[in-house]
Structure 1
Amino acid sequence: MTTTCTDIATALTDLLFTPGLPLAEAIDRHFAPDYRQRTDGRWDNRAEFAEHIAHLREVVTTGSVRVLDEFAHDHTYADRHIVEVIKNDGTHVATEVYLFGEFAPDGRFRRIEETTLLLAGPESERNLGSAR
């Protein structure tokens, strides 16, 4: 049996840029029950990650994900991508993300560790990747 793995562009599009898709469904689609994420040194469990995404859904109007580099092999995933968002107040934020991850046996993300670099937007948006 071949397992199809998710990827970050599809996951982020479902999480942030697909109006009408319930948050729980989007998370279940791409993230294993034991999911953990470290962003810029801060670890979050799946519930804390869901809280972060719920906050972003409240403050982000629209956006996109552009994958610059991507590698997947067996249970390992790595990429470099840029997330651009327009917030409700009109602020444009662009963040470059360096990501290393691990897939669960079912192809969903089990773990992601990432470092972010603010490319555009006010300095106050530097922590948008972990904001709540």
Structure 2
Amino acid sequence: MDLREYLARYPHDVAFGEEDPEAVFDRYHAPGFVLYNDGVVLDRERLLAHVRPARKRAVSVHTEIHDALIAGDRVAARYTLTAVMRRGDSITTEIFLFGELAQDGRLQRLDQLTRAA
């Protein structure tokens, strides 16, 4: 897996791509993937449910990657995600990510801490 590519492409592809969000999600995430975001557990279904309304409310998303590391089956990153909304406002979030890769190289688990930037 190319972690920098994932961080840059996945948010855009899942929110604005022409493919179904499910296909985009499955390309990057292994079966059974779980995200722990600020202590909230999000599985595939909950994450995809979050994407559908985001497709209607946002007009663009940009990722600024500050640090990204892969060591064996572990990943870590610090990045800023900015979403521009249809009403003209922006939401900017700094994200600290730690994760584990499945044997096939897709993400198996992510733990994220976020804060408004």
Q: Which amino acid aligns with 1:13?
A: H
Paired with 1:75 and 1:28, the residues of 2 have a C-alpha distance of: 18
> Do structure 1's residue 35 and structure 2's residue 33 form an aligned pair?
yes
* CA-based RMSD: 1.3
Paired with 2:97 and 2:12, the residues of 1 have a C-alpha distance of: 16
What is the 5 A alignment of 1:29-68? 29-68=27-66
Gaps of 5+ in 1: 120-132
1:95 matched residue in structure 2: 93
2:13 matched residue in structure 1: 14
Superposition deviation, residue 38 in structure 1: 0.9
Gaps of 5+ in 2: none
Paired with 2:8 and 2:89, the residues of 1 have a C-alpha distance of: 22
Report if aligned partners of 1:40, 1:115 keep a CA contact under 8 Å in 2: yes
- Using the size of structure 1 for normalisation, the TM-score is 0.80
- Could you say what secondary structure the match of 2:19 adopts? coil
Further displaced range: 46-55 or 24-33: 46-55
Further displaced range: 45-54 or 77-86: 45-54
Where in structure 1 do 4 or more consecutive aligned residues deviate above 3 Å?
A: none
CA gap of 1:115–1:32, structure 2 versus 1, over 3 A, is same
Superposition deviation, residue 53 in structure 1: 1.9
Of all paired residues, the percent bearing the same amino acid is 24
> Do structure 1's residue 86 and structure 2's residue 84 form an aligned pair?
yes
Paired with 1:114 and 1:59, the residues of 2 have a C-alpha distance of: 23
- Using the size of structure 2 for normalisation, the TM-score is 0.89
Superposition deviation, residue 21 in structure 1: 2.4
Paired with 2:75 and 2:12, the residues of 1 have a C-alpha distance of: 18
Larger proportion of strand = 2
Aligned length, in residue pairs: 114
